């Protein structure tokens, strides 16, 4: 027994010595050949005949063979794993790949989608075993989603609170109008989560093809300290010439069912600081720098007309001579009195306001010729606010 073991040990040593004795150049050559073989198997460069060709398709001289033996090319985007048949197509809905992104991040929590039309994304997430709640304002779509087995709150999110949304652990939306929805919804949910003392994750989608989305993304992410921004690449098809969207017939700026979504993440809860709104920051609306007198802002005559034209939500209260604020929004201006109070308390350079509920506008001015107000746009009234020192 001992002699056999010694013989085996000697043989093993000889084999080991033989391996060590192989020249390094030979080993490098073998390794290089193996790597090349792996690359060929992956890209299928060496076997052009493995790809069936359509009789009317002629490969360009520089175009490599496209056969990957069932694997997709590295430069292509894989399809979504969602197996629930969608009702809508992109860009009417979010790309289905969004559901692939959301599912692992929503597991073990209540996933709440705000504004979902026919509920394609919510249906994909639900199909993966995630508890889902959808918020939709349109009664027709609410009925359709209930028919799909989705739990629905059929009201605008602005009217909801912790009774309806307090259990949500993951929120998601891709808004119709990013400038007027993203920030108010984020502030509303962040304030609610802080009030109830619970943490939640908010994902806000931004489409590369939507200039409103992309204009809002960096501002929102910076103002509210986004935790991360992830890019989702998707390709749900497209054609050269056909029904929109296609390369020759665009649809709201899209040339096909493909593109890039940017998912901004915000971790809201008791430690999340809401702070000033974007509008307050950008127009220089300070905190109350001049409190109203006990009896309110001194009265002044109200006259028909407006001072000058202004640009919506533009003009800095400390640097410019005029500006405008859209009614509603984070400043909550709804009436002429609200507009006057904003001018008196928060806008340093404001001396006169022009207000129109019809035009949804509260404009302010450092000076104005009250005896020659413009009336070419109806529905405006103007009044002085002050006087008060700069």
**Could you tell me the CATH number of the domain that includes residue 105?**
3.40.50.150
Q: Are residues 141 and 183 in the same domain?
A: yes
Q: Which pair of tokens denotes residue 290?
A: 């001049």
Give the single-character DSSP code of 328.
B
Give dist(CA 82, CA 66) in Å, integer.
26
Confidence of residue 61 (pLDDT cuts 50, 70, 90): very low
Q: How far is CA 375 from the centre of its chain?
A: 40
Confidence category of residue 14, pLDDT binned at 50, 70, 90 = very low
With vertex at residue 320, the alpha carbon angle to CA 339 and CA 383, rounded to the nearest 5 degrees, is 35
In a domain, 4, yes or no: no
Beta strands in 128-282 (DSSP E): 131-135, 152-153, 168-173, 200-207, 228-235, 258-268
Contact between 235 and 279 under an 8 Å Cβ cutoff? The reply is no
Residue 92 lies in a domain: no
Lookup: tokens for 307:
């001072």
**89 domain residue, yes or no:** no
pLDDT at 243: 86
| Range(s) of the domain holding residue 42 | 14-76
Q: In what order do the strands lie in the sheet with 131-135?
A: 152-153, 131-135, 110-114, 168-173, 200-207, 258-268, 228-235
**pLDDT tens per residue, range 223-264:** 999 999 999 999 999 999 888 999 999 999 999 999 999 999
Domain CATH number, residue 336: 3.50.4
Q: How confident is the model at residue 67 (pLDDT cuts 50, 70, 90)?
A: low
CA-nearest of 225, 234, 119, 212 to 172 is 119
252 and 125 within one domain: yes
The stretch 329-350 carries a mean pLDDT of 91
**More confident site: 24 or 169:** 169
pLDDT higher than 60, residue 211: yes
Confidence of residue 43 (pLDDT cuts 50, 70, 90): very low
Residues 191 and 337 in one domain: no
Q: Is pLDDT at 58 greater than 90 in this prediction?
A: no
Least confident among 41-50, 62-71, 73-82: 41-50
Region 81-102: mean pLDDT is 96
Whole-number mean pLDDT of the chain? 84
In a domain, 117, yes or no: yes
Predicted confidence (pLDDT) at residue 135 exceeds the cutoff of 50? yes
Query: Which of 24-38, 63-77, 345-359 is the least confident region?
Result: 24-38
- Do 105 and 244 have their domain in common? yes
Which pLDDT band, with edges at 50, 70 and 90, does 31 fall under?
A: low
- Higher-pLDDT residue of 47 and 345 is 345
Q: What is the mean pLDDT of residues 197-208?
A: 98
> In sequence order, what are the beta bridge partners of 314?
324
In angstroms, the Cα distances linking 226 to 177, 203, 218, 335, 374 are 20, 10, 9, 34, 44
Identify the pLDDT of residue 277.
Answer: 85
pLDDT value of position 36 = 46
Residues 297 and 344 in one domain: yes
Q: Tokens for 142, please give them.
A: 């609410």
- SS3 state of residue 54: coil
pLDDT-derived band at 16 (thresholds 50, 70, 90) equals very low
Q: Residue 222: CB partners within 8 Å, gap ≥ 6?
A: none
314, 323 contact by CB (below 8 A): yes
Domain count, the chain: 3
- 262 shares its domain with 291: no
Label residue 282 by pLDDT band (50, 70, 90): confident
Same domain, yes or no, for 114 and 252?
yes
Asked whether residue 297 falls in the same domain as residue 251, the answer is no
Q: Which of these ranges, 57-66, 196-205, 250-259, 364-373, has the smallest mean pLDDT?
A: 57-66
**Do residues 125 and 243 both lie within one domain?**
yes
Give me the mean pLDDT over the 163-191 stretch. Answer: 94
- Sign for the CA dihedral angle at 209, 215, 216, 217 comes to positive
Beta carbons of 363 and 354 less than 8 angstroms apart:
yes
Q: Are residues 45 and 137 in the same domain?
A: no
In a domain, 279, yes or no: no
Residues 195, 324, single domain; the answer is: no
- Residue 46 pLDDT exceeds 80: no
Q: Which residues contact 309 (CB under 8 A, 6 or more apart)?
A: none
Confidence check: pLDDT of 289 > 60: yes
Dihedral through CA 140, CA 145, CA 146, CA 148, nearest 10? Answer: 140
Angle at 265 between CA 260 and CA 270, to 5 degrees: 170
What does the pLDDT read at residue 37? 53
Residue 255 located in a structural domain: yes
Q: What percent of the chain has pLDDT over 90?
A: 66
What is the distance between the alpha carbons of residues 14 and 240, in angstroms, rounded to a whole number? Answer: 66
Residue 275's pLDDT band (cuts 50, 70, 90): confident
Same domain, 104 and 68: no
Report if residue 82 sits inside a domain.
no
- Flag whether 148 is in a domain: yes
């Amino acid at each position: 027994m001992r002699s056999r073991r010694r013989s085996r040990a000697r043989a093993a040593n000889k084999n080991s010595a033989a391996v060590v004795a192989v020249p390094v150049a030979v080993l490098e050559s073998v390794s290089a050949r193996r790597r090349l073989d792996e690359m060929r198997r992956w890209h299928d460069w060496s076997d052009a005949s493995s790809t069936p060709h359509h009789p009317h398709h002629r490969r360009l001289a520089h175009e490599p063979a496209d056969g990957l033996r069932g694997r997709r090319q590295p430069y292509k985007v894989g399809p979504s794993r969602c197996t629930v048949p969608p009702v809508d197509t992109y860009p009417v809905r979010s790309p289905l790949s969004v559901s692939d992104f959301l599912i692992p991040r929503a597991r073990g929590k209540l996933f709440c989608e705000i504004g979902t039309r026919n509920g394609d994304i919510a249906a994909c997430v639900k199909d993966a075993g995630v508890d889902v709640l959808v918020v939709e304002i349109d009664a027709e779509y609410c009925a359709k989603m209930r028919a799909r087995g989705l739990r629905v709150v059929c009201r605008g999110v602005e009217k909801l609170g912790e009774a309806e949304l307090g259990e949500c652990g993951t929120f998601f939306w891709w808004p119709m109008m990013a400038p007027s929805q993203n920030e108010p919804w984020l502030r509303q949910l962040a304030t609610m989560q802080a009030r109830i003392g619970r943490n939640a994750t908010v994902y806000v989608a931004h489409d590369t093809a939507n200039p409103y989305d992309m204009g809002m993304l960096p501002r929102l992410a910076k103002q509210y300290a986004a935790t991360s921004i992830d890019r989702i690449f998707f390709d749900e098809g497209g054609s050269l010439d056909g029904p929109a969207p296609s390369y020759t017939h665009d649809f709201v700026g899209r040339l096909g069912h493909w593109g890039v979504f940017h998912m901004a993440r915000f971790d809201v809860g008791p430690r999340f600081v809401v702070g000033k709104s974007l509008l307050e920051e950008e127009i220089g609306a300070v905190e109350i720098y001049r409190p109203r007198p006990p009896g309110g802002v001194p009265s002044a005559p109200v006259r028909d007309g407006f001072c000058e034209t202004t640009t919506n939500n533009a003009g800095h209260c400390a640097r410019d001579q005029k500006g405008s604020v859209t009614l509603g929004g984070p400043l909550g201006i709804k009436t002429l009195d609200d507009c006057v109070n904003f001018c008196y308390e928060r806008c340093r350079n404001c001396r006169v306001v022009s207000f129109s509920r019809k035009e949804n506008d509260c404009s302010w001015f450092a000076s104005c010729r009250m005896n020659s107000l413009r009336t070419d746009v109806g529905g405006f009234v103007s009044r002085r606010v002050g006087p008060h020192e700069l």
